[in-house]
Structure 1
């Protein structure tokens, strides 16, 4: 679990594509440096967020660490686009004794998104993002949480009809702390929607399904039946 508060920006020094014959399946490994601040208490097997993707430390020293990237992660995220010199947002898994400054972030990327526009607003910038999977927009709400390349941000606006996109604003301080500020129109970012929205949808769906099956008294089923009967009655008059 993470907070979406980026601790530091690291630099990719090596991206290694793993051959199927080496590990029994396709995958990759990434070596990242310039991140000694987050390696002071590192251990093998620790979870770490790289551009919002929860991956596992498989090797490290005082200056750099290595993570493995599974095929599903490659398909779902923008990590395969990284190469030597790429900058990445980094955050250690949350500890119990720290303040929770962002929101609950799993590090389970839902989809990537393309940057549609970047517009200055005073010393801030407004970014519009179009998700590759437009279906995730149902979880994106104005003034709600969104995770962009691992950074917890606030949604400014959502356009599900025309743009099929959402926007966030990066203030001056945030611009200095995350890699998104240096990206350009057409670049991609990793997106994780708010977990609470997905949990709420599941509970509401189960509630409706149970009511339709009559397991909760059949109230919703009866209500829908009355509407259908009423409409049929009007049509036959």
Structure 2
């Protein structure tokens, strides 16, 4: 599990490309290396990946076809940076919201509105059916960052970014058309899906009653 509080960014220093498979090597910030072992979980742009090798400050991760299809990690090139978070431990402060590191889709940066000390980013979701989980003032994970949803319009929504977020993460470098990883808040998804099942069940019972 993760908290959505990005602990640093790391550059991609090597890529081993194979059919439907990639190995990424990043230069891990020194402060995040303590106790890092093979098999540990580290979020890259919000996507939970497993450590496959540690050589000094260089850490390797394997990306399978599913990860390359669902996330923006397959589009990265040498020198690009990723948001990094080590897996949460018991007694850690939950400064954001609990996140699983399971990316549901990518969203496109559709509009950027900048003003002094503020930035508003509008994102376009690829599937309108996912918008039922995008609620005003709800939680969402964007490239591994726990954020609060602002306005919601059709298949778009926005988030408001403070200078600290722009400085500590890669969101400050995003441009129009860029893709970001999206993780829906699991509690929101569970509630929405449960309500839908209850409503569908009641409708089915009513329909059966009238038929009788």
**TM tier, shorter chain?**
over 0.9
Give the number of the structure whose alpha-carbon radius of gyration is greater. 1
Aligned to 1:118: 112
Query: Is the partner of 1:10 in helix, strand or coil?
Result: strand
C-alpha RMSD over aligned residues: 1.9
> CA 1:157/1:98 → structure 2, altered by over 3 Å: closer, same or farther?
same
Structure 1 CA distance, aligned partners of 2:61 and 2:86?
13
Aligned to 2:45: 51
Give the strand-richer structure, 1 or 2.
2
Relative contact order: is structure 1 or structure 2 higher (C-alpha 8 Å, sep ≥ 6)?
A: 2
Q: Which of these residues, 166, 185, 188, is aligned with residue 179 of structure 2?
A: 188
TM normalised by structure 1 equals: 0.83
> CA 1:210/1:58 → structure 2, altered by over 3 Å: closer, same or farther?
same
Q: CA offset at residue 34 of structure 1?
A: 4.1
TM normalised by structure 2 equals: 0.93
Q: CA offset at residue 145 of structure 1?
A: 0.7
Equivalent residues in 2 for 1:94-113 (5 A)?
Answer: 94-113=88-107
Can you give the 5+ residue segments of structure 1 that lack an aligned partner in the other structure?
A: 20-25, 229-237
Equivalent residues in 2 for 1:155-194 (5 A)?
Answer: 155-160=149-154, 164-194=155-185
Q: CA offset at residue 212 of structure 1?
A: 4.9
Aligned to 2:140: 146
| Contact 1:36 1:62 (8 Å CA) reproduced | no
Query: Is the partner of 2:168 in helix, strand or coil?
Result: coil
What is the number of equivalent residue pairs in this alignment? 211
Equivalent residues in 2 for 1:57-72 (5 A)?
Answer: 57-72=51-66
Can you give the 5+ residue segments of structure 2 that lack an aligned partner in the other structure?
A: none
